[in-house]
Amino acid sequence: MSARTKQNFVHGSIILIAGAILVKVIGALFKIPLDHLIGSTGMGYFGSAYNLFVPIQTIAVAGFPVAISRMVAENVARGRFRDVRRIQKVAARVLIITGLLGSLLMFAGSFLFVRVIDNPNSLYSLLVMSPSIFFLCVMSIQRGYYQGLSNMKPTAISQIIEAMGKLVLGLICANLIINMGMGQFQQSGQVFGHTFETVATSSMSDEELKTLEEQAGKVILVPIEDGATEEEINQLVEQAAHNACLPYASAGAIGGVMLGTVFGAVYLTLRRRIRGDGITKAELAASPEPMSNKALLRTMMAIAIPVALGALANNLSSLIDTITVQSGLSDVMQSSSDTIRQLYEGRLPDGIINSQIPNYLYGSYSGKAITMFNLIPTLTTSVGVSALPAVTAAWTLRDRKATKKSIEAVIKITGLIGIPAGLGISVLAGPIMGLLYGNPKEIAVATPLLTILGICVILLSLITPINSMLQAVGKASTIVKLMLVSAAIKLVFNMVLIHIPAVNIVGAPIGTFASYLFLIVADLYILCKTTKVKLNFTRIFVKPMISGLFCAAAGFSMNGLLGLVLPDKIAVLGAIAVAAVVYVVSLFLLRVMSREDILLLPKGEKIARLLEKRGWIR
């Protein structure tokens, strides 16, 4: 009997979702205090660096775990265990090379990228991030291999190790760098070689000040208003000293991210060597002669390249934002700076000049709104990854009934997570931001952006696992085409809307909504057409949406009521708790959950009997 650790689709999903929840909690514990340390300005540097890392990492890594998982699952289903082992060896050779090339590409490309986005202070973060690509490639070998064997635990554990390294080391490094820089300032008036000089702004335009700053080199100019007191001047100079620490602190935080990938890669490598994969000698002996390395490599690349391009097209959204938001806002500030200052009156830091506003707004968007936006889709990505072996096996065996069952289960479970979360984030955007972050000005900038992104959460939550299923049924190249069209829609919306002063950065989430709306409609059409499966949309979409609306309405109402008698942070926690209860109850009252759904869960038989006694399922 095989010693492999296997999970069915739902059990595998639960393992990956549990791991993803822990990773996201750890990620929040990293980004929230990091935001308190470096603010929107520092998060602008952090986000700019991260958004170059993601496309390069996607090209180097993204397609291979899917390809490895799919090839391993197919060969396990056919009893070709010698091919399974050889797939792992071929993948290891390819990914080590691509990891090295990816790291070198990011290192070299960093210098050009900071010029394109006009944000040179993000360079240090980019350079520190570059080794991460190699270690992510090493992790991808083992993650894809174990997922293909339907063992999701190694992936979940490595993700937690990676996140813990980021949390502990990233925050420690960022904090140490800020303390070191401010210590230098207190002793010598310098920060990492930078000195400070005050300059009166009454007779100087913002462009003249920017030109003077560029010429100053290591001298940081501190703009001072006429009539400022000595205490106010000292505060502005100290704030400038703190800001001078932020590019280095951001790089320190990213150093923690990089070391997290090192620890994750070490864990997976040691686990494979110590515990093996569970394939027995008998299974290997009974296996037919394996395919050649070249044949396996051709198959792997045929799967991986379209998937990587599709993932790249998906991640182009963040890269498009990085480039178009900051450059677009810079154009708007040159033509309509008074309008922007009026729109954001009371939401901009004291002493900020026009040239600094684009990075500040982008930092509020990427560091706060996007952080919340990415929470739920990450969890549903785990559903898609876990679904791959089940859908692949059913499709390979041409079992249409099992294919339909797997597809509906993925979409329904995804919707049950994404719909209430997205609607809840949208209606409680402000209170949630106030719960997690401390700077009211930055929160006020990010809240309307998160309100729109909350609706996008629902769309992206469904898109990601649907794309995984399209990959499983051999439509990876179609995904690439649809993603590119989606990215083009995003680019057009951003280019047009961000340049409208009254819209400005709000155009970015609107563009995201438009691109995702197109994508989910197109994805579902192609999936149903390819598999010839007729989905029960009422059961998998309409009923979960109704329950989600009840949940959102309960959360919004309770937050308003509790806010009358309780502090805001306690009120929003109470509102979320009430909304969750309302949602669960509505699921059973509307018969959203069936006995078949419950049986897929761990201890499902026992839970089903209990719910049947209460008349909540049939």
Q: HEC states along 406-445?
A: HHHHHHHHHHHHHHHHHHHHHHCHHHHHHHHCCCHHHHHH
- Is 344 part of any domain? yes
- Is 491 part of any domain? yes
* Residue 215 shares a structural domain with residue 338: no
Helices (H) and strands (E) in the chain, counts: 23, 2
- Is 252 part of any domain? yes
Q: Which amino acid is at 468?
A: S
* Mean pLDDT of all residues belonging to the chain: 84
Band the pLDDT of 1: cuts 50, 70, 90.
very low
Q: Quickly tell me which residue has 């006020």 as its tokens.
A: 444
Higher model confidence: residue 406 or residue 71?
71
* Residue 90 shares a structural domain with residue 211: no
Q: Does position 48 have pLDDT exceeding 60, yes or no?
A: yes
* Residue 133 shares a structural domain with residue 220: no
The last residue of one of the domains, among 512, 535, 558, is 535
Q: What is the DSSP string of 560-585?
A: HHHTTTS-HHHHHHHHHHHHHHHHHH
* Residue 401 shares a structural domain with residue 311: yes
Q: What is the mean pLDDT of residues 470-490?
A: 86
* Residue 129 shares a structural domain with residue 217: no
Cβ atoms 379, 20 nearer than 8 A: yes
Give, for 196, the enclosing helix (H) or strand (E): strand 195-200
- Is 1 part of any domain? no
Higher model confidence: residue 186 or residue 611?
186
Report the percentage of the chain scoring pLDDT > 70.
88
Retrieve residue 573's tokens.
């926690």
Q: What is the mean pLDDT of residues 93-114?
A: 90
What Cα–Cα distance (Å) separates residue 279 from each residue in 68, 222, 287, 394, 419?
16, 66, 11, 22, 40
Q: Does position 8 have pLDDT exceeding 60, yes or no?
A: no
- Is 4 part of any domain? no
Cβ atoms 134, 62 nearer than 8 A: no
Q: Does position 443 have pLDDT exceeding 90, yes or no?
A: yes
Q: Among 13-27, 80-94, 105-119, 415-429, whose mean pLDDT is lowest?
A: 13-27
Cβ atoms 572, 559 nearer than 8 A: yes
CA distance 52 to 110: 8
Per DSSP, the three-state class of 143 is helix
Return the closest-CA partner of residue 155 out of 22, 321, 341, 245.
22
Q: What is the mean pLDDT of residues 539-551?
A: 91
Helix/strand/coil (H/E/C) assignment for every residue in 319-362: HHHHHHHHHHHHHHHHHHHHHHHHHCCCCCCCCCCHHHHHHHHH
- Is 2 part of any domain? no
* Measured torsion, CA atoms of residues 340, 346, 349, 351, in degrees rounded to the nearest 10: 80
- Is 556 part of any domain? yes
* Residue 509 shares a structural domain with residue 368: yes
* Residue 204 shares a structural domain with residue 337: no
Retrieve residue 15's tokens.
């393992």
- The pTM of this model reads 0.77
Cβ atoms 102, 134 nearer than 8 A: yes
* Residue 481 shares a structural domain with residue 551: no
* Residue 389 shares a structural domain with residue 422: yes
CA distance 216 to 211: 9
Higher model confidence: residue 462 or residue 22?
462
Report for 209-218, 224-233, 576-585: range of highest mean pLDDT = 576-585
Query: Which range of residues forms the domain containing residue 141?
Result: 9-180+245-535
Distance of CA 119 to the CA centre of its chain: 22
* pLDDT tens track for 122-145: 899 999 999 999 999 999 888 888
Q: Which residues pair with 200 in a beta bridge?
A: 224
Per-residue confidence (pLDDT) for residue 352, from 0 to 100: 78
Cβ atoms 153, 15 nearer than 8 A: yes
* Measured torsion, CA atoms of residues 579, 583, 585, 587, in degrees rounded to the nearest 10: 180
Phi, psi of 326 (to 5 degrees): -70, -45
Per DSSP, the three-state class of 305 is helix
Helix, strand and coil percent figures for the chain, each rounded to 5: 80, 0, 15
Band the pLDDT of 545: cuts 50, 70, 90.
very high
* Residue 134 shares a structural domain with residue 216: no
* Residue 562 shares a structural domain with residue 437: no
Band the pLDDT of 14: cuts 50, 70, 90.
low
Return the closest-CA partner of residue 467 out of 321, 314, 315, 320.
314
* Residue 71 shares a structural domain with residue 218: no
If you ran DSSP here, which 8-state letter would residue 540 be given?
A: I
Report the percentage of the chain scoring pLDDT > 90.
35
The interaxial angle of helices 543-562 and 568-589, nearest 10 deg, is: 150
Q: How many domains does the chain have?
A: 3
CA distance 29 to 165: 12
Cβ atoms 131, 104 nearer than 8 A: no
Cβ atoms 511, 494 nearer than 8 A: yes
Q: Which ranges in 117-205 belong to alpha helices (H)?
A: 123-129, 132-148, 153-188
First to last CA, the chain: 37
Q: What is the mean pLDDT of residues 235-258?
A: 90
CA distance 523 to 256: 37
- Is 369 part of any domain? yes
Per-residue confidence (pLDDT) for residue 424, from 0 to 100: 95
The last residue of one of the domains, among 241, 260, 285, is 241
Q: What is the mean pLDDT of residues 428-454?
A: 93
Q: Does position 439 have pLDDT exceeding 60, yes or no?
A: yes
Per DSSP, the three-state class of 502 is coil
The last residue of one of the domains, among 476, 501, 535, is 535
CA distance 329 to 493: 14
Cβ atoms 313, 491 nearer than 8 A: no
The interaxial angle of helices 63-77 and 132-148, nearest 10 deg, is: 20
If you ran DSSP here, which 8-state letter would residue 199 be given?
A: E
Per-residue confidence (pLDDT) for residue 181, from 0 to 100: 94
CA distance 143 to 153: 9
